[in-house]
Amino acid sequence: MDDCIFCRIARGEVGADIIDERPNAIAFRDVNPQAPVHVLIVPKQHIPQLKDLGPDRCEVLGDIFSLANDVAVSEGIGQTGYRIVCNIGEEAGQEVDHLHFHLLGGRFMKWPPG
């Protein structure tokens, strides 16, 4: 989708505070942080939701989680702990119709969440 904000960020058409990237994924700071560290990790290819990620795209998930681990370390939360959240669908709070993972840390997390 040409007008998807995350696709435009991945293509470099929209500015973002990019932290790191892999061939299939990019990590950038959330503009509305919910924790001291709040990074979004998105596939570079437009994939609307987790259900749209078939077995032919295993490399995408590999890049996403490898990137999440490296970002957690570089942001100083790799040892203290962090949370990775993927909201799927409107009722779960997905606001952008592009698969993305929130990496949150830098404070104690409550359970159960929201």
pLDDT, residue 1, reads 65
Contacts of 74 (CB under 8 A, 6+ apart): 19, 20
**Half-sphere exposure of 114 toward its Cβ, with a 13 Å CA cutoff?**
6
Active-site residue (options: 38, 46, 98, 100) = 100
pLDDT, residue 26, reads 98
pLDDT digits (tens, 9 = 90+) for 42-87: 999 999 998 898 888 889 999 999 999 999 999 999 999 999 999 9
CATH hierarchy code of domain 5-105: 3.30.428.10
To the query of whether residue 100 is one of the catalytic residues in this protein, the response is yes
pLDDT digits (tens, 9 = 90+) for 75-102: 999 999 999 999 999 999 999 999 999 9
Strand order, beta sheet including 101-105 = 18-21, 25-29, 37-43, 101-105, 82-85
Residue ranges per structural domain of the chain: 5-105
